[in-house]
Every structure is written in structure tokens, then in C-alpha cells.
Structure 1
Amino acid sequence: MKKEYDFTKAKRVKKSKDLKVLKTFRLDPEVLLWLESEGEKQGMGYQTFLNWYLLKVINQQESIEDRLRKLEQALFKKI
């Protein structure tokens, strides 16, 4: 191993929205089978499907404030 390296010609990596993080996690076998099956139905691999599905759930999620506001509106209409 060298004592010093020349990084003068090195390029900085730009942050990209397409950047993926490599992470290992464990799934139950039936969950993996479902992901593979659903991914195949959608024409994508199970990892791509899992990422798409989780993003969909995240984007549909309402904040607690939004949920409370809807409940209050529904309750006050009845009063």
C-alpha cells in the first residue's frame, strides 16, 4: 500500500435521486414469495417492487395532524 495517493484527478460523486443504499434484512419466506409474485405481475423484480410499494405507502401516509383534522370535521358536522 502506498504512503500517499494522488487524488488531484479524482471526480466527486454527485448526489443522485437514483442513489440506492445496500442494506441486508431478513424476510419470512412467505413474504419473499409474495414480493416475487407481485413483482412478476408488475413486470419488475422483487426488490424493485418492494421499493415501489414502500414509496407508495409512504406517500399515501397522512400525518397525525391531518387525521385529527378530518376526525374533528366529521365530528363537528354531526353536532
Structure 2
Amino acid sequence: MLQLLAEAVRSASQIPQGFRELIQKRCEERGILFVPLPNRYRQGKQIYRCGKIQIYIDRSVVFLSENGNTWLPKSLAAVLDMAM
């Protein structure tokens, strides 16, 4: 019984708690660098380096900058594909 409880706690700790954590986990699974860029914000939201692109997250929506000025919402799958 104690082993089942320990396994349940271990499994629960691996579940992403937020959208940023989900993106970070998916990047780790694919070997994509995912780090915050120091002192870089867009509309008060932290900008992250996600592989070779930059993103920010607002209310569970990922915004991607393709040209450095325009930020467009993208799906997580599209972001991960573009980051590689």
C-alpha cells in the first residue's frame, strides 16, 4: 500500500502544473533549450528562448515573434516544430 502511495506522489509531481511548465516539459522531451531571457518582457510577460525562436505566454496562449516586431499566437505543436 505504501509503495502505491509513493508511486502516486511521484507521478503527480511529474504532471505540469501550468502552461509554461507544459511547454518546458515538451521542450525537454525534444532536447530544445527553453530559458527565460533576462530583462526581456512583452506586455509585462516574460520572453523565453525556445530553441531558435522567442516566445511569450499570455493566458495559456503562446505568442511567437517571427520578425522581431510582430507577435502572433501559435499552437504548441507549431512552436515546437519551429524551435528545432
Q: Structure 1-normalised TM-score? A: 0.30
Write 1 or 2 for the structure with the bigger share of helix: 1
- Point out which structure has higher relative CO (alpha carbons under 8 A, 6+ apart): 2
Higher strand share: 2
